[in-house]
Chains A and B, each alone.
Chain A
C-alpha cells in the first residue's frame, strides 16, 4: 500500500514538474549559450555598446528575435521590423528606395542596413537617435512606419500568454515593461556582426584568401580616395557630411536634429560593408548601382554652402579605377552573415 502511494506521489511529482518545465521547453531554442557568444576580429575598435547593462542570454536573444519579426509592434499588426530590414540584404530593404510603412504609406528615407550596431554611437540617417536601446522607439512610433504607441505595444504584449512567459524567462519579472522589450530587441539586433566577408578573410590570411588584381588595385584606390570618410574596418567614420547630391535640400538631414545651419543637407556616412546587397543607395535611394554612385562622385557633385570640402572638385577616377573599386567593394559582401541561421525569421 505504502509502495503504491509512493508511486502515485512520484507520478504526481513527475507530472507537476513536467508542467512547470513546459514554459522552459517551449523556449528551448535551437540556439545554445555558445551560439550567442559574440566575437569580432582584433582589428575592430572597442564597441560603443558593450551589453554591460543588458547581459545577453539566449532567452533574451530569442525574445528579441520574436519581437523583431512580429508585426504586433505596428498599429494594425501588419509591419514588423523585419518587413523593412531583411537578412538576405544585410537587413536593409531589398530594392526599395523608400519602404512602405503602415497603410502603404511611403517613407522618406532609405531603410539602412543593420549590423555592427555595437560600434555605432548614433542612429538614423540624421543621427536623431543617440542610443541603441531607444532607437527602436523611432520606427515603432513614426506615423508613416509602424505608427504605434509604446503603451499599446506593451498592452498587446501583456495580453499574450506566450509573451508573458517569454519575458518571464528572459527577465524574471511578472510584468512586461518597455525597458525589457527594448533591451530584448537590442540583445537580438546588437548581435548582428558582419566581419566574415572576403575582405576580412583576406586581411586575416591573404595567402589562403587572395585578392584578384582588380580587387587589389581597387583597395589601393579606395584607401586613397574614399577611405577618409568610409574608414576601415567599419567603413564609416560615423560623421555627417553633405556629399553634393543637391543644391537645395528637400530633406534638411542633420539640421533637422541640431538646428545648426552648417548641418544643412548632411547625412551620416553609411558603412560600405555589404554595399553590393543594400542597393539602392543614398539617404533617398536615388542611385540603383555602385557605378551610378561612383559617377556621382566623379562628375555629379553639386555645389552648396555645406558641401564637404573634400568633394569640392569631386573625385577623380578613371573608368578602369571605377571598375576596380567596384570589384573591391564586392569583397565586403558577407554571405556568412546574411545566411546566419541564428538571425533567420
Chain B
C-alpha cells in the first residue's frame, strides 16, 4: 500500500513539474503600468467630438443626398477615417501630445465620435493639430492591433499600408462602374504621400482646462470639402482614387475639412 502511495505522490509531483511552465507563463502577465503624476502639477481633461457632416447636415449613410461644389448630387455608403497624433498647444508655448493613440472613425457606428484627452496639464490652450491618417512609422511596423488591426478593412493588401480615409457612394454624374464613387486616400511615400497634418483654428476662443472639470470641443468633419478647394472635383471626370496623384489632390482638399464649431470650458 505504501508503495502505491509513493507511486502516486511521485506521479503528482511529476505532473506539477510538467505544468510549471504553464503556470509561470500565466504569472508573467503584468497589469499595464499606469503613469501616475508625482509632482504637484494639476490636470484637466477635454472631450473632443468629431461630427461628420455634409455641409450643415449630419451625414447619413445611404439615405442622405448631397451636392458637391460642382453641383453633382451623390450619396455615401461608407465613410471612415483615421485621426492620430493629437497635439494641444498651450498659450505658454508648451504642448500636450496624446500618448500614442489611433482613432478609427466609422460613420456606420454613428456620425459623432467622442474621444477624451485626460491628464492634460491645466491651463489655456489656443491650438490643436492632428494627423488625418496613420504616420509612416505605424504603416511599416508589422502586424498591429486595435484600431490598426487590418481586420478593420482599412488596410491595402496589395500596396500594403493603411487607408487613411475611405468614402464610397454613388452619383448619377459618376463615370465609374454602376455610377460608383470610390475614394480611398492612403500612401505615405513621396511623391504621393497622403498623410496630412490638420490644424483647425481656434479663432478668438481658447480651450481652458481646469482641475476636476471636463471641457468640450466640437469639431465638424465636412465631406463636401473633400471635393471643393483648392481642387474642384467633378465626378464626371474623377470618380475614384486608390492612392497616387488623385488621392494626393483630395488629401490637400481635406486640409479644409475640419473646423472647430464650439468650445465649452
Interface residues of A (CB under 8 A from B): 3, 6-7, 10-11, 13-14, 17-18, 20-21, 24, 53-54, 128-135, 137-138, 140-142, 150-151, 154, 172, 177-179, 182-183, 256-260
Partner of A179, one of B12, B145, B245: B145
Interface residues of B (CB under 8 A from A): 1, 4-5, 8-9, 11-12, 15-16, 18-19, 21-22, 25-26, 28-29, 139-145, 149-151, 155, 157-161, 189, 191-192, 243-245
Contacts of A178 in B (CB 8 A): 143, 149-151
- How far, in whole Å, are A10 and B26 apart by their CA atoms in the complex? 24
- How far, in whole Å, are A133 and B243 apart by their CA atoms in the complex? 22
A21 touches B18 (CB 8 A): yes
Q: Contacts A3-B1, A177-B149, A259-B245; is A130 near B12 (CB within 8 Å)?
A: no
Point out which of A11, A54, A183, A257 has the most chain B C-beta atoms below 10 A from its C-beta.
A257
Partner of B160, one of A14, A21, A137: A137
Contacts of A14 in B (CB 8 A): 8, 11-12, 15
B15 touches A10 (CB 8 A): no
Q: Contacts A179-B149, A260-B191; is A130 near B161 (CB within 8 Å)?
A: yes
Q: How far is the CB of A5 from chain B (nearest CB, A)?
A: 11
A17 touches B149 (CB 8 A): no
Contacts of A7 in B (CB 8 A): 1, 4-5, 8
Starting from the known contacts A142-B157, A256-B158, 11 additional A-B residue pairs (CB-CB under 8 Å) come to A3-B1, A7-B1, A7-B4, A14-B12, A21-B15, A132-B142, A134-B142, A134-B155, A137-B150, A172-B26, A179-B143
Contacts of A24 in B (CB 8 A): 18-19, 21-22
Q: How far is the CB of B100 from chain A (nearest CB, A)?
A: 15
B12 touches A142 (CB 8 A): no
- How far, in whole Å, are A19 and B124 apart by their CA atoms in the complex? 61
10 contacts between A and B (CB under 8 A): A13-B12, A14-B8, A18-B15, A128-B159, A151-B151, A177-B149, A178-B143, A178-B150, A179-B143, A257-B159
- How far, in whole Å, are A138 and B141 apart by their CA atoms in the complex? 16
Q: How far is the CB of B192 from chain A (nearest CB, A)?
A: 6
Contacts of A140 in B (CB 8 A): 157
CB-CB nearest in chain B for A137: B157
A53 touches B142 (CB 8 A): yes
- How far, in whole Å, are A141 and B243 apart by their CA atoms in the complex? 19
B143 touches A3 (CB 8 A): no
Q: How far is the CB of A166 from chain B (nearest CB, A)?
A: 14
